[in-house]
Amino acid sequence: MKRRGFLAAGCAGCLAVGVARAQGAWQMPARLARPEAGSEEGGLWSLMDREETKLRRSPFALRDEKLTAYVQDLACRLAADHCPDVRVHLVRTPLFNASMAPNGMMQVWTGLMLRADNEAQLAAVLGHEIGHYLQRHSVERLRDAKARSAFGQFIGLFGLVGAVGQIGMLAGQFAYGREHEREADAIGVALMARAGYDAAEAARVWENLRLEIRERPDGGYANPLFATHPPAEERMAHLAELARAAPGGQAHEARWRTHLQPFLHEWLDDEVKRGQHEESIALLTRLVARSPETAEYLWARGEVFRLRAVGGDLDLAIADYLNALAAGNAPPEAHRGLGFIYKARNDAARARASFQRYLDAAPQAPDSAMIKSYLEELRT
């Protein structure tokens, strides 16, 4: 098979030993045959096929051939001989999540890709989901859903039926058991290592997400991924232990940044509009610290501060906007944000200057008519 060559790449002898320890007695199974149409599992596959057809037509679907091919290739590196059965669908929604249905339909949400620091971290989550697929854990969840007369809700976990915000609530009702999660973690780390990725990045995914969790005012878990997994602290410890048995590998941060860059602004805009200010500030502060030269991160954090507007938030927003502009290549919306704050503070001269710079930089902006009306108002 064309893609099998990756198994040898980047895997030294010590790494192979570590992989064997990480996966224990587990061995990659043969490709999963499609079940008989009249069987319980066959019926599930048929339903998933229909959900996949709906997903392809969904307005949430991100139809970018280059990015989809890149993530598909990453999934194939992990899935190895199962590559022909894995079909990646990118979904534009600001939440962190990935899922894989029994028929091989994989969803990867843009909120996950925004939060991944490198290719290895994305591989960690995808490898975990592939682990569930290879072990057919979803079939057991199906039987549980049927036993509770909740089959329709279960199917909703794999499609985009209803509001995305309801997915977290449903996921909590059909969570994998702890044994399945630990098994998927072990398989995911083994797949990462075999594909030449740094398995230590798996624990860092949860360490980063925990920073967001801790900032929520209610301490809740408003994310579907957390609804279906054990506490972050436990996951971090277990994944770190697995990674120690599989040292080596690469993170491929530069390659990941190159593919992320064309979508960074719109995904950050989605995150700002999500309205979870504390989580977003925690995320963006981490991203600014990691890449202080990236003006987009500074602009987005400034937007969140401006929209929250608590205490000294507006001063923090001004500082972020100005730093974004000083960094170069700042989005025009940084000028607009300054204009909104100066206008609210009755600083007409600065507001006019900022709004005009915004229009000069983005004359075809969707809100240009509104900004022009503000300029007229500020001149009177």
pLDDT number for residue 364: 96
Provide the token pair at 65: 């051939």
Q: Which CATH class is domain 263-379?
A: mainly alpha
Residue 177: how many other CB atoms lie within 10 Å: 13
Quick one: pLDDT band at residue 231, thresholds 50, 70, 90?
A: low
The residues, ordered by sequence, that sit 6+ positions from 91 with a Cβ below 8 Å of its Cβ are: 55, 58, 60, 61, 62, 107, 108, 109, 110, 160
pLDDT number for residue 191: 97
Q: Where are the domains of the chain?
A: 2-244, 263-379
Per this entry, what is the length of the chain?
Answer: 380
Comparing C-alpha atoms, which of 20, 29, 72, 74 is closest to residue 186?
Answer: 20
List pLDDT tens digits, range 142-195. 666 555 555 555 555 555 543 344 444 334 444 567 788 889 999 999 999 999
The residues, ordered by sequence, that sit 6+ positions from 353 with a Cβ below 8 Å of its Cβ are: none
Greatest extent of the chain over all pairs of C-alpha atoms, in Å: 77
List pLDDT tens digits, range 96-155. 888 888 889 999 999 999 999 999 999 999 999 999 999 987 766 666 655 555 555 555
Helix (H, G, I), strand (E, B) or coil at 148: coil
pLDDT number for residue 360: 97
Provide the token pair at 75: 């999934």
Amino acid letter, 80: A
Quick one: pLDDT band at residue 8, thresholds 50, 70, 90?
A: very low
Q: Report the alpha-carbon distance of residue 186 to residue 261 in Å, rounded.
A: 31
